[in-house]
Amino acid sequence: MPIEHINKTDTLNEGREKLNNAITAFNETVVEGDSSVEAAQARVDEKGVPHPTLKARIDDGMNSVNQQLAQKANISDLSDKINEVKFNIVTHEMEFYAGDVLVEKVDISEAGNANAVHDYIDSLVNEGLIDGVSVADNSLDTSKYQDKSVTREKLGDDVLVNVPWLTKKTDLDDIIKQGNWIVDSDAKNKPFPGQGLLTVNRGKTLSSQSNIYVLQEISALGNNSEKHYRLFLYNQNTGNYGFVQPWKRIDNLDIGEIINEVETSLKDKLKNDVISDLNLSIPNLNWVRLNNNLSMSEGEFVYYTESLGVHRKTNSNFVTFSEFSVREGDIYRIVTRLPDTFGWTDDGRGIMLDDKGNFVSFIEIDNSKENSGFSTFVIPEGVTKIVVNGIKTNDNQSHTHILKLCEFRNLKTPNDIGFTADTQIKNNGMLVENDNDIAVTNDINVTEGQVFRVANAHTGSGSSFTERGVFLDDSNNVVAPLPNNANGTLPYAYNDVIVPIGATKMRINFYLKQQTRDDTSNSVTISEAVKTKPKYSSDHMHLLDKKVAFYGDSTTWYAGWIRMIQDAAGIKPYINGYSGASLTTKHSDNTLTDDTRINQLLSSDPEIIIINGGLNDSNGVELGNTADFKVSLGEEDKATFYGAYSYIIKKILTEKPSAKLILWTTTFWNYNNSNDGSTPNNSLDYARATKEVAEYFGITIADVRQNMQTNTLTNDVYLSDNIHHSFRGDEAIAGIMLRELKNINRISA
């Protein structure tokens, strides 16, 4: 093999090949025992110094290189990183630069020196003292990652992916480093199939604390909205870790259970990032509304400072509710609807107190809910009372609602309790006869602090009554009247009441005869509200603060189901219900086709509109012709069902085409058993026709009639008077509507 000189014009690779050829030829010469002139010349080094043998010259060269490397043994003393390495083609030296300063040069002209230089470069890489070296194409392979000579931290921003992928080689049980990752569908130990986004947060590291908590949160990507959490306990000293919690779906997450197990720093994060993001996604229908049980002081709000302690400040815009007792672990929600120009401060919503009246903390506003005035919170340890601030207003939408999460047990009716017909108990405790079809229950045993829901409170064949009933002591003395819904609030179909101190029983007034029924005692219910665990879901988060208008007859006006939706989803309800209104012009002076009423409906600028009608059209109004779907606005026959519905829809969508509409099928009406489907043009016919209207106009349909399961067999369960809905009927409607609201297209801001 011919040996060529290394020239100035040679590239680094060409020089390397020539050098390797020379080394190979040299080795072959030694093996063959050659002692020619060329071999003798090889015993003279680059400085002209002769050596007795070739081995002596090689050993001397190696010692020289090792001596140079030894001088750089403490490479951590370098103040700057090595950022450039050059091969000097003339001197056959590798030159190492930090910035513009030559730090070291190593002669590699001698055979075997290249390996020593390679080791030196590796030491610089491992110590993090060499950056920015240009590498040839395809010269980096996976082996460089396996032996950690090239690590992720050494790659530039244009190479790194901000959110790295975790693939099938990854076990999520091993991911405890704080950060964010995209998790591929084949990664191990995921709680759901498909891809996900993993976020890891660690508790504060304390030198005195070996164990810290690590919180993993994973959200499914794509159409799957699942979200899961779990906790690790990680030992900083040993590096060992173990599970504290298995994966939990967010709608099954026991927030209190997790919070009680973690350290303060992570507890705060859970409170801010988990609870505050989820608190308005509690889909429970059962929030009891307690504000009507409390007195209000106008023109002031409660406040706390270190210098003044708990005190009242004068402000004509506010009201302060009377102090009331709470229990640790109970979940409360406070809502005050406000103009967009108003916002709650963190210290303005109210205060929490201990049993001695000492300040514990402010009632915090939920994240980004200042205008809504939403505060959803768990009563913490040590708190026994709270005081809530509200806004002084006569606007139905701005009243302050104080809600408590519960579930209802021990549902009873007057038939279970016993009652006296044609008799009413007055607020002073006196029993008086009446001819207004009002009845009063027998004694219902109660204890202080119990919460009950009394439903229904609406409709009657005689004049309405304002006295709901009374709380009594053991001697039948009046302790307090049952609170009735205050003037100016939304029309409710039920009352939520708290048993006051000293009361041991209560008696309740109700309408025994309503509409066409002579006995509604099975439809009036008294239920106890008891503590429950929340079920979390993000299904209705998109509805928060959305303006939802309701348009219909008395089943809309009485609005018990609307109240449930408001408390569950955080909507802003605008109720446009008209008792006795027909959808068509059957009742010419009370019709939903009235332009004034439609304009009033649209004046709230709603984003979603829910329409129902047809009950007051039953038995006599023709369905009409579907040709009315296609005629121009104003040409419809509004005396028919198809024509009237077509006009209402066209009128709304002409004025506000971005509004999302939901139509609900005409519900069951058992007036003289005329709605069993045997008579043309009854409520069942209108329910079917409503589906046709929705199908043609491409509108969401809420099939309340079919899904509510109301018929002659269940009449007493879901209807209070053969037409209006009982409390259980309101629950059924609210559940159906929330399902449709969950699935409706998301509304753009």
**Bigger pLDDT: 45 vs 690:** 690
- Report yes or no: 46 and 84 within 8 Å, Cβ to Cβ: no
Kindly report the backbone phi and psi dihedral angles of residue 396, in degrees, each rounded to the nearest multiple of 5, phi listed first.
-55, -35
Assigned domain for 385 exists: yes
Buried residues in 407-416 as b, exposed as e (16+ CB within 10 A): ebeeeebbee
User: What residue spans of 260-400 are helical by DSSP H?
Assistant: 264-269, 276-278
Identify the bridge partners of residue 362 per DSSP, sorted by sequence position: 351
Is the model's pLDDT at 71 over the cut of 90? no
Q: What is the pLDDT of residues 534-580, one digit of tens each?
A: 665 566 767 877 899 999 998 888 778 888 888 777 788 899 999 88
**Bigger pLDDT: 682 vs 293:** 293
Residue 312 sits in the same domain as residue 273:
no
Please calculate the CA angle 324-325-329 and round it to the nearest 5 degrees: 130
Q: What percentage of residues in the chain have a pLDDT greater than 90?
A: 26
Q: What is the pLDDT of residues 110-166, one digit of tens each?
A: 545 656 666 666 666 666 555 544 544 555 554 444 444 555 555 555 444 455 678
Average pLDDT, the chain: 77
Residue recorded with tokens 């009441």: 497
Identify the bridge partners of residue 408 per DSSP, sorted by sequence position: 529
For the ranges 15-24, 212-221, 244-253, 659-668, the maximum mean pLDDT occurs at: 659-668
The pLDDT of 300-314, averaged and rounded, is 92
**Bigger pLDDT: 120 vs 748:** 120
Residue 553 sits in the same domain as residue 676:
yes
Q: How far apart are CA 374 and CA 352, in angstroms?
A: 16
Assigned domain for 160 exists: no
Q: How far apart are CA 606 and CA 549, in angstroms?
A: 6
Assigned domain for 30 exists: no
First to last CA, the chain: 79
Q: Final residue of a domain: which of 364, 388, 405?
A: 405
pLDDT of residue 291: 87
DSSP notation for 670-734? -GGGTTSS-STTSHHHHHHHHHHHHHHHT-EEE-HHHHHT-STTTHHHHBSSSSSB-HHHHHHHH
Assigned domain for 327 exists: yes
Q: How far apart are CA 486 and CA 292, in angstroms?
A: 7
- Report yes or no: 177 and 187 within 8 Å, Cβ to Cβ: no
The pLDDT of 350-356, averaged and rounded, is 94
Assigned domain for 7 exists: no
Domains identified in the chain, total number: 5
pLDDT of residue 276: 46
Residue 489 sits in the same domain as residue 566:
no
- Report yes or no: 741 and 534 within 8 Å, Cβ to Cβ: no
pLDDT of residue 617: 84
Is the model's pLDDT at 485 over the cut of 80? no
Tell me the residue range of the domain where 423 lies: 408-530
572-577 vs 407-412, strand pairing mode: unpaired
pLDDT of residue 121: 65
Buried residues in 282-316 as b, exposed as e (16+ CB within 10 A): bbbbbbbbbbbbbebeeebbbbbeeeeeeeeeeee
Assigned domain for 749 exists: no
660-664 vs 400-405, strand pairing mode: unpaired
Tally of CB atoms within 10 A around 275: 19
Token pair belonging to 362:
């402010």
State the pTM of this model. 0.56
Residue recorded with tokens 């009242």: 312
Identify the bridge partners of residue 106 per DSSP, sorted by sequence position: 94
Q: Final residue of a domain: which of 373, 405, 437?
A: 405
660-664 β-sheet, strand order: 572-577, 547-552, 608-612, 660-664, 700-702
3-state secondary structure of 575: strand
Residue 729 sits in the same domain as residue 666:
yes
423-425 vs 469-472, strand pairing mode: unpaired
Kindly report the backbone phi and psi dihedral angles of residue 78, in degrees, each rounded to the nearest multiple of 5, phi listed first.
-65, 135
- Report yes or no: 722 and 516 within 8 Å, Cβ to Cβ: yes
pLDDT of residue 178: 79
Q: What percentage of residues in the chain have a pLDDT greater than 70?
A: 65
DSSP notation for 501-557? TT--EEEEEEESSBTTBS--TTT-EEEEEE-------STTGGGTT-EEEEEESHHHH
525-530 vs 451-455, strand pairing mode: antiparallel
Residue 640 sits in the same domain as residue 511:
no
Assigned domain for 264 exists: yes
**Bigger pLDDT: 668 vs 267:** 668
Helix (H) or strand (E) holding 736: helix 727-743
pLDDT of residue 576: 92
The pLDDT of 101-118, averaged and rounded, is 66
Residue 57 sits in the same domain as residue 171:
no
Residue 106 sits in the same domain as residue 178:
no
Q: Kindly report the CATH number assigned to the domain that includes residue 728.
A: 3.40.50.1110
Tally of CB atoms within 10 A around 388: 27
Q: How far apart are CA 691 and CA 715, in angstroms?
A: 23
pLDDT of residue 223: 66
Which candidate, 406, 397, 394, 407, places its Cα nearest to that of 373? 397
DSSP notation for 78-108? -SS-B-EEEEETTTTEEEEEETTEEEEEEE-
Assigned domain for 55 exists: yes
DSSP summary character for residue 461: S
Helix (H) or strand (E) holding 199: strand 196-202
Residue 622 sits in the same domain as residue 708:
yes
Residue 269 sits in the same domain as residue 255:
yes
Surface-to-core class of residue 154, CB atoms within 10 Å of its CB (0-12 exposed, 13-18 middle, 19+ buried): middle
Q: How far apart are CA 492 and CA 554, in angstroms?
A: 12
Identify the bridge partners of residue 609 per DSSP, sorted by sequence position: 549, 661
DSSP notation for 647-663? HHHHHHHHH-TT-EEEE
Q: How far apart are CA 453 and CA 468, in angstroms?
A: 12
3-state secondary structure of 439: strand
Residue 272 sits in the same domain as residue 292:
no
Token pair belonging to 119:
């080791």
Please list, in sequence order, all residues whose beta carbon lies within 8 angstroms of the beta carbon of residue 674, skipping any fewer than 6 positions away: 618, 619, 682
Q: Final residue of a domain: which of 405, 436, 470?
A: 405
**Whole-number Cα distances in Å, 607 to 372, 483, 598, 661:** 17, 34, 15, 9
Q: What is the pLDDT of residues 629-662, one digit of tens each?
A: 999 999 999 999 999 999 999 999 999 999 999 9
**Of the candidate ranges 35-44, 52-61, 419-428, the one whose mean pLDDT is the lowest:** 35-44
Residue 186 sits in the same domain as residue 257:
yes
Q: What is the pLDDT of residues 370-380, one digit of tens each?
A: 767 788 888 88
Three-state SS string across 210-248, please? CEEEEEEEEEECCCCCCEEEEEEEEECCCCCEEECCCCE
547-552 vs 572-577, strand pairing mode: parallel
Token pair belonging to 152:
């992720």
Residues composing the chain: 749
Please calculate the CA angle 600-601-603 and round it to the nearest 5 degrees: 60
3-state secondary structure of 359: strand
Residue 109 sits in the same domain as residue 215:
no
